[in-house]
Amino acid sequence: MPPASDDRPTATTFRRLLAGVLAVLLVVSAAILVWLLLRGDEDDVQAEREQVMSTAQQFALRINTYGPDLLDDKEQMPEYRDGVSELLTPKFAADFDKNVSIAEQTVVQAGIARKGEVFATGVADIDSDSAQALVAGRIDQSLAEGKKRVDSEPVPFRYVVELVKIDGEWLVDDWDTASRALESPPESFQSIEPSPGATP
């Protein structure tokens, strides 16, 4: 009768090999998970930056675009008021509402028509609930002279726009010209990227 074979060394080797393979798979899986999480964070940050730039850009366009065609029979511009206010925090919207009559008076008295154009936007600083953006562009303006309109020289602008996040939405909380807001603009403000579709 032949001696019985002993499979114990082979079984031990197989178990060790299997344990090694499983350990490698666990390490690879953990690395992939970490990479996906980090990539997800980067995507989230980029999405937030794009929302900040979009709101800042729309604010610069809307605050600088108005004219006689928006006046109602009360010599106010309700469409202009609503369009700007929906981008503002409640506090800033209250301040805007107190001062918007100045723009309306220039339209009534001088027939001023203005149109904003944005060339570029950038984000200087951003965290979970606040951000600072720069918007650069120009304002085309014309005045009424009798039945004719006379164009004036375009006015360039660079705005520093302060935003806060309220209930998941980025809103403008304050703004100023870059020259007043920043004596030494950071590098991110000196080389901002053109907005999609902008025409410098």
- Report whether 160 contacts 182 (CB < 8 A): yes
Q: What is the pLDDT of residues 89-121, one digit of tens each?
A: 999 999 999 999 999 999 999 999 999 999 999
Count up the domains in the chain and report the number.
Answer: 1
Asked whether residue 198 is assigned to any structural domain, the reply reads no
Asked whether residue 3 is assigned to any structural domain, the reply reads no
Query: Does pLDDT of 195 surpass 50?
Result: no
* Distance of alpha carbon 43 from alpha carbon 134, whole angstroms: 21
What domain range includes position 99?
A: 11-190
Asked whether residue 195 is assigned to any structural domain, the reply reads no
Query: Does pLDDT of 44 surpass 90?
Result: no
CATH of the domain at 179: 3.10.450.540
- Report whether 156 contacts 64 (CB < 8 A): no
Asked whether residue 1 is assigned to any structural domain, the reply reads no
